[in-house]
Amino acid sequence: MASIENGPSAKWSELLPDTFLERQQKCPIVYLPMGLCEPHGHVSAFGLDTIKAEFICNAVAREVGGIVAPTQGYHIHESGYHAPWLEEVLGNANPYMASIPPFILLHLFLYQLRAFSNAGFKGVVAITGHAGGNEMDLRMVATNFMRISPMKVEVRADPELVVGRYNGDHAGKYEISQLMYIRPDLINMSKISRQYEDKLLGRFALGHDALEASPQLGEKIMNACIKKTCEIATNLEQSIDRGSEIDHINIEQTELVWKDIMAAKSKWVTNKLFDGQSGASMDSKWKIYEDLT
């Protein structure tokens, strides 16, 4: 197992008040790991997306400073562009997935930002291990929130951190390598033949090039993710005004922002198909979630 957890904790949930305030005063940035439980083949633990986001955030907090918020372990899936993909990689099988609709996750994210602002943070770095379009709607929420708070918010999906160097995927060479490095105890490649033998679940969303994964590649990918996130956090820290006071944001103010976000629901990414994307078949159980606008 990679040893990034060694050393003093930077986790909000594990900090005593004095230590929290000391860390926050030195670096008023909070990191939010985001992921979910979803199938990554028979060879991998469900929480791959969550685990890699936590790994990045904890590593960067130790390097740059700041505090790691409690992980957001539920995410957008099923809806919009996800629906035909689920039919392709799962059929109608149960995915055992911790997904929630866009309007729930985005509303929650807005209130997470409110909590960070009211707790005195001046910068947020949200890292989502679940990618493909969700990060765009998270950035949309962040942009709207920054209208009422001087707190600055950066949102990245982990493949965005290594664009041009490594190609992100789903449970393929990229992701399986990540978990092989971070938590080798949560990968069992001896089960890879299950994709051919299990008639109910099939490949269970396993990527076609998963056999090319290695912990060595995973280490390179994760180090690159961490380095880029350190740059983002450092630039964010240097851009914030440490002397300014952030006013308390109440629920009414937050709901007014949400009202504007909902008014632009037709522009969300996660509640509809991509332009030109073919939908799921009419007998797919995912078909009804393609359009939630």
Residues 269-280: pLDDT tens digits?
999 999 999 999
Whether residue 2 lies inside any domain: the answer is no
| β-bridge mates for residue 155, sequence order | 126
The string of pLDDT tens digits covering residues 249-265 is 999 999 999 999 999 99
User: Tell me, what's the pLDDT at 4?
Assistant: 52
User: Considering the domain boundaries, does residue 293 fall inside one?
Assistant: no
- Paired with 107 in beta bridges are none
Q: How many CA atoms lie within 13 A of 280 on its CB side?
A: 26
Could you read off the pLDDT of 204-224 as tens digits, one per residue? 999 999 999 999 999 999 999
The CATH number covering residue 275 comes to 3.40.50.10310
Residues, the chain: 293
State the pLDDT confidence band at 8, using cuts at 50, 70 and 90: confident
Whether the CB-CB separation of 157 and 76 falls below 8 Å is answered with no
7 domain residue, yes or no: no
Q: Is 114 helix (H, G, I), strand (E, B) or coil?
A: helix
Q: What whole-number distance in Å separates Cα of residue 83 and Cα of residue 133?
A: 13
Using CA atoms, how far residue 153 sits from 31, 79, 111, 116, in Å, is 10, 25, 13, 10
Q: Could you read off the pLDDT of 281-291 as tens digits, one per residue?
A: 999 999 999 99
Task: Give the per-residue pLDDT at 63.
Answer: 97
Does 98 reside within a domain?
yes
Look at 60 and 6; give whichever has higher pLDDT.
60
* Model confidence pLDDT, tens digit, residues 127-174: 999 999 999 999 999 999 999 999 999 999 999 999 999 999 999 999
The 10s digit of each residue's pLDDT in 33-70 is 999 999 999 999 999 999 999 999 999 999 999 999 99
Beta-carbon neighbour count of residue 251 at 10 Å? 9
Cα distances (angstroms) measured from residue 177 to each of 40, 135, 225, 261, 268:
12, 22, 13, 37, 31
**Residue 8 structure tokens:** 């003093």
Taking only the tens place, the pLDDT of each residue in 77-107 is 999 999 999 999 999 999 999 999 999 999 9
Is residue 221, in this structure, part of any structural domain at all? yes
pLDDT score at 246:
84
Give residue 1's pLDDT band: very low, low, confident or very high (50, 70, 90): low
Model pLDDT, residue 6: 61
pLDDT of residue 244: 80
Tell which residue, 35, 73, 47, 72, has the closest CA to residue 187.
Answer: 47
Q: Is residue 176 a part of any domain in this protein?
A: yes
**Alpha-carbon gap, residue 205 to 137, rounded angstroms:** 24
pLDDT over 80 at 183, yes or no: yes
What pLDDT was estimated at residue 126?
99
Judging by DSSP bridges, how do beta strands 123-128 and 152-157 pair with one another? parallel
pLDDT value of position 5: 56
Is 140 a domain residue?
yes
Residue 168's domain spans which residues? 12-288
> Is the pTM here over 0.85, yes or no?
yes
Residue 255 CA, chain-centre distance (Å), reads: 24
Number of domains in the chain: 1
Which residues partner with 5 through β-bridges? none
Q: Which of 183-187, 234-238, 245-249, 252-256 has the lowest mean pLDDT?
A: 245-249
| Both tokens assigned to 139 | 């950035």
With respect to residue 109, please indicate whether it lies within any of the assigned structural domains.
yes
Residues 6+ apart with CB under 8 A from 69: 12, 30, 31, 32, 33, 112, 116
